[in-house]
């Protein structure tokens, strides 16, 4: 059996968490990632019949029974993942009626998965209905995206339009826009349910005055979605208190979308003559 420390999915978690901490998106124990793994790939590194312990999830996700995830741990710092992945990460399999996590590896200090696991699993269940290839859910606190929450109207269409105006690539990278939730108590089933509902339409969901959730097919894609929003938010924050002389026109954004073959969310661009 291969060494689990060399598994590509462990390496991806190490490099991604390190990058997110380096960028200042995930201070202290802020942020969490869950990654749906292929059972055959996991079996190359672990005896998946061996369950270390069972951890109650606190809610049921029957559609994910049997699915295996690698998940960041509760109270763990992203800056420590690369040095000690076995303490800061865990590989779990959803079992029972979808209300139990079987620990297959990790959390070696007796810890468990992130407190935001309800939100993650609800989002996974929803995104898999939309796109069976969506395997990653990522939550972080990007500085400029968060700052923008305090000075920009929290209207999904207006917020999305502003982000699209900030950088030419935005309308191409996230043509589905961003969903927005009002401030809600984190770590609860309620915020998980609300986020999953938004994930029916969006791959990016902002938690007002808290952070952002992203979902994608790969770690790179999901990281890139959040990274692009954060860049646009940074440009906005650098320019929002100054007169705007130039902007990307709605007609030009439509040209970009047509060129790259992406479908822009309805109701955001004003293409009236």
Residues annotated as catalytic are 116
Is residue 122 a contact partner of residue 85, using CB atoms and an 8 Å limit?
no
Q: What are phi and psi of 182, to 5 degrees?
A: -65, 170
Q: How big is the chain by its Cα radius of gyration, in Å?
A: 19
Distances (CA, A) of 255 to 129, 158, 195, 202: 30, 20, 31, 22
Task: Tell me the C-alpha distance between 212 and 141, whole Å.
Answer: 6
Starting at the earlier edge strand, list the strands of the sheet with 89-95.
53-56, 100-106, 89-95, 68-72, 32-37, 136-140, 211-216, 204-207, 179-181
Residue with tokens 């826009």: 177
């Amino acid at each position: 059996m291969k060494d689990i420390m060399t598994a590509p999915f462990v390496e991806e978690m190490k490099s991604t968490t390190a990058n997110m901490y380096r960028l200042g998106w995930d201070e202290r124990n802020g942020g969490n990632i869950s990654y749906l793994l292929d059972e055959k790939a996991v079996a190359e590194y672990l005896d998946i019949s061996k369950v270390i312990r069972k951890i109650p999830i606190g809610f049921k996700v029957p559609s994910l029974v049997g699915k295996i995830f690698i998940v960041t741990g509760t109270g763990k710092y992203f800056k420590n993942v690369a040095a000690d992945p076995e303490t800061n990460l865990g590989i779990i399999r959803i079992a029972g009626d979808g209300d139990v996590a079987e620990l297959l590896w990790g959390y070696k200090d007796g810890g468990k998965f992130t407190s935001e696991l309800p939100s993650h699993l609800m989002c996974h269940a929803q995104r898999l209905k939309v796109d069976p290839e969506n395997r990653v859910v990522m939550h972080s606190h990007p500085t400029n995206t968060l700052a923008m929450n305090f000075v920009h109207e929290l209207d999904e269409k207006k917020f999305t339009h502003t982000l699209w105006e900030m950088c030419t690539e935005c309308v191409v990278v996230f043509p589905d826009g961003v969903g927005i939730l009002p401030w809600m108590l984190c770590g609860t089933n309620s915020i998980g349910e609300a986020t999953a509902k938004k994930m029916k339409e969006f791959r990016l969901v902002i938690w007002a005055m808290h952070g952002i959730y992203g979902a994608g097919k790969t770690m790179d894609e999901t990281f890139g979605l959040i990274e692009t929003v954060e860049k646009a938010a940074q440009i906005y924050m650098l320019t929002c208190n100054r007169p705007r002389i130039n902007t990307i026109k709605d007609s030009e954004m439509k040209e970009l979308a047509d060129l790259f073959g992406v479908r822009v969310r309805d109701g955001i661009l004003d293409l009236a003559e």
